[in-house]
Structure 1
Amino acid sequence: MNLRLLISLVAVLVLQMSCGKVTESALVLGDHEQISYNYHIRPILSDNCFACHGPDANKREAGLRLDVAESAYAALKDYPNQFGIVPHDSDASVIFQRMISTDPAERMPPPESNLTLSVEEIALIKQWIEQGSVYESHWAFEVPKKASLPFIKNTEWPKNEIDYFTLAAMERQKLIPNPKADPFSLLRRLSYDLTGLPPSIDLQQQFYSNPSPQAYEQMIDYFLGLPAYGEKMAVLWMDIARYADSYGYQDDNIRTQWPYRDWVIHAFNKNMPYDQFITWQLAGDLLPNATKEQILATAYNRNHKYTEEGGVIDEEYRVEYVLDKTNTYTKGILGMTVECAQCHDHKYDPISQKNYFELFAFFNNTPEKGFEGDVVQSKPAKTPIMWIDREDTEGILNFLNYQDTARIMVSVMEELEETRQTFILDRGLYDAPSTAVSANTPEAVFAFDGALPTNRLGLAEWTTDARNPLTARVFVNMIWQEVFGKGIVASTGDFGMQGALPTHPELLDWLAVDFVEHGWDIKRLVKQLLMSATYQQSSAIDPKKYEKDPENSYLARAPRLRLSAESIRDMVLASSGLLHPEIGGPSVKPYQPEGLWEAASSGRGELRTYKQATGNQLYRRGLYTFIKLTVPPPMPIIFDGSNRDVCEVSRSRTNTPLQALVMLNDPLVLEASRYLASGLLQMNQEPKQLISQAFSRILGRNPAKQELQILFAYFQEELNRFTQDKEVGMSLMHQGGKPIETQKITPQFIALSQVITAIYNLEEAITKT
């Protein structure tokens, strides 16, 4: 370590000790290693400096901007003989001297900001300056390139290109991959990732008895061909498209956007290329000779909340709806937090308020109204609408599941004949227009081609242009997140300066380019991930590996992930035999605690009271659960489902006591346990065999000897209890919409039901391993 660096570090250490903040002093990189602005320096400056010295000119202090080289190297506004950064000279670089200053009035970040740079961070900045303080364009704004496969030592392990990148990262960290998972785990993992359902007993037997080396790949192809694949993929897209069955706000009346959900399922099942999938949703109505299917896809833009309250200001809400469309597009498709620029220039990303309202202009040209009438007079769709007739459902829209003969109204997009003028709104306020702007895209991302039409169709073409650095990267990252639990970029909706850095940048770019080269083929991308050795690893956790990589960033094991809210419901339904596998159609109202809607309802409109579904409709998949925005369904919310208020590209995974209470007491789980027990008892087998059958249906594997012994002991304990007092268990057996005859409720039946409930409550039952 050179003397100047040592002196600087000692000064900082003394400063931190005097503040009561002692940090272990150690250089992150060696003196001769090249420091990257993007990967080492920008995150430090972004967290600590850009709020006052970043892109937002209105909040910039001392005229110093540190996010671009030209400004950082320039003379200071008030001290023309001084410079923020002087390449190769940290002594002459004012920002570094302010960082190590012991004078609170001089130190940066200032003490009142409650931000403190560590010794390591200051050391990195010093090394970067001494190495020439080279700035780099933000990685996500660079067009991705398909790098050559990296060198690896263990050439026997990879099954496809993905594995070269993941293994190279493991080897750099001196990690080795886990062994391949057992067939039981692989089948169950595939089944949940591709259909959101557990594998049936028949499918388990078919897979385990298939001796072909291609058995695994054949199973992937089988699952990709099932209608359930489209349903599984649609769960992600419903979160992105903020799909709901009501309008939100106070009265929160019913809406009929479900044909859009049917279209999304259909599009995924027929493997519509992603560029077309996006284009139709953004601008299907603007395509030449647009069909009703293409127009229906534009309902993506219309899924936001609508007010039905009298007395509101029409223009205020109209602007609110356009803001929502803009934010959903940028977060869900571009992976950018552009909404931060609604009121002022973005503090961290090179997105100005002007940029924001230029994007806003693309969506600002519809005949949509801010207020269309109150809930008593409203119809279940808002202008502009598209009518769907019986002849449509028998023709071009034959994928719609609609049994009624009445026409359906869906809110879709439509373009005004004359362009509505768009203005920058001062502080983002609807009634404070300032400078007029025209439709355009942020130049920092990718310049808008002047030959493109300045409407949503032009925006769609810009979005899906191979030169756009974000679109393919963002979608590939979402699919990676769906499979591995966390994206290569962990901040799935933020590829900007404050977003997470990619753990495997070359892999992300390779996949993005490969995705575009192969026609934006979604099923091919999904299969590519599932065919990798990285995916097929065991999820067993080695303590030494865990200590070295607790977040599994280097993928030296398969992740263990709690199932989504929808998949937990579907697992219970499918394994018990209750599942009604109908595809598409209107949403349904399953079991939920009494009085929830009524307690939060305004007392007006069709949704003022909860009318539970009946018959087979009670047993539809979680995708079809009715979502009232003001009172989201409790079971999905308890298991971290999206409340669908806004675009959401990733869900959190929490563990709370409420989740255990749901699995122990929800009527669906109790009914499923009883229903499965009823079906198993008809097999006339010994209790151990019945328990083993239930175990395999729910967990996708045979129970180990000790597991079976424990469950059988519990069965005998419950059998003795209910033999002595049958009435104790009778109330549990009458749960749900498929009642059982009282004479069939024997102590053995109740005991087996209790054992099945216990299996449903195992962690493994709701975990993908």
Structure 2
Amino acid sequence: MNFKLIFAFASFWACVALIFQSCNQTPSGQPAEEKLPELVSYNFDIRPILSDKCLACHGPDANKREAGLRLDVAESAFKALQENPKAHALVAGKPELSQAYIRIATEDTSLKMPPPASNLKLSQREVDLIEKWIKQGAKYEKHWAFVAPKKPALPEVDDEKWPRNEIDRFILQKQEQKGLKPNEEADKERLLKRLSLDLTGLPPTLKMMDDFLADNSADAYKKMVDQLLQNPAYGEKMAIHWLDLARYADSHGYQDDGYRTQWPWRDWVIHAFNKNMHYNDFVTWQIAGDLLPNSTKEQLLATGFNRNHKITEEGGVIPEEYRTMYVTDRNDLFGKGLLGVTLECAHCHDHKYDPFSQKEYYQMFAFFNNVKEVGIESVIGGPETYAKKPLMEISNDDVKNILTFVNKPDTNRLIVSVMGDLDTTRKTYILKRGVYDALGDEVQPGTPSSILPFDSKYPKNRLGLSKWLFDKKNPLTARVYVNILWQEFFGKGIVKTSGDFGMQGELPSHPALLDWLAVDFMEHNWDIKRLVTQMVTSATYRQSAIVTKEKLGVDPDNILLARGPRYRIHAEYIKDLVLASSGLLNKTIGGPSVKPYQPAGLWEGATSGRGLLSVYNQDHGASLYRRGMYTLIKRTVPPPTMSIFDASNRDLCEVKRLKTNTPLQALVMMNDPAVLEASRVLATKLLQEKSDSKEKLSKAFRLIVCRTPNEKELEVLTSYYNQQLKIIKPQTAEKMIAVGEYPMIKNLDKKTLASLMRVISTIYNLEETITKS
């Protein structure tokens, strides 16, 4: 393998991609011109300009504000200027009298704003937008995300034949405005791979492929969607994004980083998705299951959601400092994961950009501050440290009669950290500068008024907070989860910054669609499977991922969705694809996390030397072949292969994973024992079948890439296989096949096995294999 050549090609194409992405030009090379909107919106047209070019000096930060002028607040923008009381920054309807417009439009460098020295400059279109906005009255608007969504009318489109459901009308309208047309539907093989990966995290089986290709009925695709939604693997796939959000891990974190048994909560999440628990109940049980009337053990287990945060077991810490950190973690998760706002920025001071005061932060904090917990508990090492109080014990009788979805493999004590409040109310104070012992004014439970004031009819506890969260007037809850699911199926959210719907977040690419989906989601009782079905049955989702030069020029980032999604699948699904295609996959659902192959010495080099996780003791047998989501996550040393493919280490709430492309990922696919073992096992199975080499290679290709190879591809693979048969020496073959613990089949020619194994390994290394297209 010529690594220099690989890196050269990678660098070249990376540069090409950057050039295309940075030059938003039409195919002719001329910049695309965009007309001014008929009605200029402050939220969608003006505030982004101010935010990028003006608010650093004329925004909410009083310490950096120049000339006493604040342009993000109407009251300040319209009042007389501090330096010239006879003038005003804005005069509604009169740009010629508005000093803000005069200063940005002038060519006089001594007057021009932003100052030339700032290296900031407004484009002519931006200047024209501000002029038109002022002419139309310079109306300020409440931030779009803090206004409750209303269901807009479905857009009119020119091509009435293309839309399959309401989603498509919103998408097509934007495309037609830009002169684009959607792609044709993807071919059935690629479409099935996309759908199967999205709904189960697994590649389709050969039988699924054959059945789908043979089904020419009008509802063949819908039948496949329904089949996959009923597959138990659906719950496992859907759980991944929630485990990231809930920062689930198998260790406590911090220096000692001891083992914890929180996995029964993960079993519950899988179960909840599979039985299609509606989102309002799904979240309410996790926030306040212990406070529900006559709460059950299942509802109590669900509250493990709020106990997944890091917990210290180190001696010498200040208990109240760490207890405060635990409450802070829960509060920040609620803000980012469920409300999609950067609430944590108000931990030490009023939020600099969003309308959240520090007092409001600690009013939210108060909802989570009454948990019956301490900052440090017990000593590392014994079974009592696997969970921290408050906790629940799950008995064998519970698993048999109540918590039947919990996969408890032995008779040992099984305990899980859950929520439980004190009998009396713990007082909550504003913490000056966020310091745990710098107490300010006392506060009562409450919510940011800019989002939705807390209704007095709700109890001032976590159950009341959940009722507030799912109040139909709450502008964020439905939008945020709809956006997270859209991100799961289309690669990026309608709001790209899925954890920040605030002033500094990205504007939605399709605001009307986001609002329509959010209201529709609420109108249909927060039904998750229904929402998933809407997305994956849309014509938008079913498009081919082929990109033309025209579309790349007009829309390089595919914001307008005029082609299908194309991106590398998550780390867990890469492992799942390898195991499933080779026949190694252990389909057991739930249960304790496992320790598969891992380079030696990683844990030992980063440990305090205490506890069950101080040494990596690899599992064996069927445990090696469990799905990626069950890989044990030690926070201080997360699984290296998954980290290389951008998996979360679960330190904090994450609602969006990075997508990187590095040489290390290629090295993993070429050298990981799990991939090589899968290649050997699949090669062994194929050699036991009565078929010729081309048939074996074609079947391997179908199992791994999920489509039939064309003649040219099959010719290349066959040529490579024949070449390997000639050049691989017996001693080399012996070393090649001696990988992994899965038993060898006797009486197979080792040279033939090694040759076929190498070709299969090459197929696993194709970009298309681990790409959703």
Q: Is 1:295 the counterpart of 2:300 in the alignment?
A: yes
In 1, distance between residues paired with 2:446 and 2:286?
A: 19
Partner residue, 1:537: 543
Give unpaired runs (5+ residues) of structure 2.
Answer: 1-28
Cα RMSD after superposing both structures? 2.1
Change (3 A) 1:27 1:271: closer
2:738 to 724, 727, 734: 734
Partner residue, 1:19: none
- Residues 433-452 of structure 1: matches in 2 within 5 Å? 433-452=439-458
- Post-superposition CA distance 1:255-290 (Å, at most 9, x none): 111011001000000000000011111111110111
Partner residue, 1:522: 528
Change (3 A) 1:644 1:535: same
Alpha-carbon shift at residue 81 of structure 1 (Å): 3.7
In 2, distance between residues paired with 1:412 and 1:110?
A: 56
Give unpaired runs (5+ residues) of structure 1.
Answer: 1-23
Change (3 A) 1:153 1:97: closer
Q: Is 1:281 the counterpart of 2:260 in the alignment?
A: no
Change (3 A) 1:47 1:403: same
In 2, distance between residues paired with 1:654 and 1:107?
A: 40
Partner residue, 1:307: 312
Contact 2:704 2:769 in 1 (8 A): yes
- Residues 621-660 of structure 1: matches in 2 within 5 Å? 621-660=627-666
Change (3 A) 1:201 1:50: same
Partner residue, 1:681: 687
- Which has the larger displacement, 180-189 or 378-387? 378-387
Partner residue, 2:713: 707
| SS at structure 2 position matched to 1:435 | strand
In 2, distance between residues paired with 1:712 and 1:163?
A: 43
In 2, distance between residues paired with 1:373 and 1:226?
A: 42
Change (3 A) 1:376 1:60: farther
- Post-superposition CA distance 1:16-44 (Å, at most 9, x none): xxxxxxxx999976578432111111112
Q: Is 1:47 the counterpart of 2:52 in the alignment?
A: yes
Partner residue, 1:607: 613
Change (3 A) 1:472 1:734: same
- Structure 1: which amino acid aligns with 2:396? R
Partner residue, 2:188: 183
In 2, distance between residues paired with 1:352 and 1:738?
A: 58
- Residues 558-569 of structure 1: matches in 2 within 5 Å? 558-569=564-575
- Structure 2: which amino acid aligns with 1:447? P
- Residues 431-510 of structure 1: matches in 2 within 5 Å? 431-510=437-516
- Structure 1: which amino acid aligns with 2:497? S
In 2, distance between residues paired with 1:252 and 1:241?
A: 18
- Structure 2: which amino acid aligns with 1:738? Y
Change (3 A) 1:29 1:544: closer
Contact 2:103 2:111 in 1 (8 A): yes
In 2, distance between residues paired with 1:322 and 1:226?
A: 37
| SS at structure 2 position matched to 1:394 | helix
Contact 2:320 2:436 in 1 (8 A): yes
- Which has the larger displacement, 222-231 or 552-561? 552-561
Contact 2:684 2:745 in 1 (8 A): no
- Residues 48-127 of structure 1: matches in 2 within 5 Å? 48-55=53-60, 63-76=68-81, 80-99=85-104, 108-109=113-114, 115-127=120-132
Change (3 A) 1:113 1:454: farther
* Number of residue-to-residue matches in the alignment: 744
Q: Is 1:215 the counterpart of 2:213 in the alignment?
A: no
In 2, distance between residues paired with 1:715 and 1:79?
A: 82
| SS at structure 2 position matched to 1:253 | coil
Q: Is 1:584 the counterpart of 2:590 in the alignment?
A: yes
Partner residue, 1:261: 266
In 1, distance between residues paired with 2:229 and 2:58?
A: 50
Partner residue, 1:618: 624
- Residues 659-674 of structure 1: matches in 2 within 5 Å? 659-674=665-680
Change (3 A) 1:172 1:456: same
Q: Is 1:765 the counterpart of 2:769 in the alignment?
A: yes
| SS at structure 2 position matched to 1:323 | helix
- Structure 1: which amino acid aligns with 2:697? I
Partner residue, 1:751: 755
In 2, distance between residues paired with 1:213 and 1:463?
A: 41
| SS at structure 1 position matched to 2:282 | helix
Contact 2:258 2:381 in 1 (8 A): no
Contact 2:447 2:453 in 1 (8 A): yes
Identity of aligned residues (%): 57
Partner residue, 2:557: 551
Contact 1:56 1:346 in 2 (8 A): no
Change (3 A) 1:509 1:71: same
Alpha-carbon shift at residue 374 of structure 1 (Å): 4.1
- Post-superposition CA distance 1:678-699 (Å, at most 9, x none): 1111112111110011001011
- Post-superposition CA distance 1:564-594 (Å, at most 9, x none): 1011000000000000000000100111111
Partner residue, 1:142: 147
Partner residue, 1:171: 176
- Post-superposition CA distance 1:85-128 (Å, at most 9, x none): 22223344343455467898976556776655445434433332
| SS at structure 2 position matched to 1:551 | coil
Q: Is 1:34 the counterpart of 2:39 in the alignment?
A: yes
| SS at structure 2 position matched to 1:529 | helix
Alpha-carbon shift at residue 476 of structure 1 (Å): 0.7
Partner residue, 1:391: 397
- Which has the larger displacement, 114-123 or 407-416? 114-123
Alpha-carbon shift at residue 68 of structure 1 (Å): 2.6
In 1, distance between residues paired with 2:503 and 2:715?
A: 55
- Post-superposition CA distance 1:18-73 (Å, at most 9, x none): xxxxxx99997657843211111111222344455444567655544322322322
Partner residue, 1:344: 349
Contact 2:335 2:341 in 1 (8 A): yes
- Structure 2: which amino acid aligns with 1:496? G
Q: Give the TM-score normalised by structure 2.
A: 0.93
Q: Is 1:365 the counterpart of 2:374 in the alignment?
A: no
- Post-superposition CA distance 1:495-528 (Å, at most 9, x none): 1111111111111111111111111110011011
Contact 1:26 1:120 in 2 (8 A): no
Q: Is 1:233 the counterpart of 2:238 in the alignment?
A: yes
| SS at structure 2 position matched to 1:208 | helix
- Structure 2: which amino acid aligns with 1:729? A
Contact 1:27 1:123 in 2 (8 A): no
Change (3 A) 1:57 1:350: farther
Change (3 A) 1:185 1:361: same
In 2, distance between residues paired with 1:78 and 1:247?
A: 57
Contact 2:387 2:417 in 1 (8 A): yes
Contact 2:93 2:138 in 1 (8 A): yes
Alpha-carbon shift at residue 348 of structure 1 (Å): 1.4
In 1, distance between residues paired with 2:262 and 2:476?
A: 29
Q: Is 1:573 the counterpart of 2:575 in the alignment?
A: no
Q: Give the TM-score normalised by structure 1.
A: 0.93
- Structure 2: which amino acid aligns with 1:726? P
Q: Is 1:270 the counterpart of 2:275 in the alignment?
A: yes
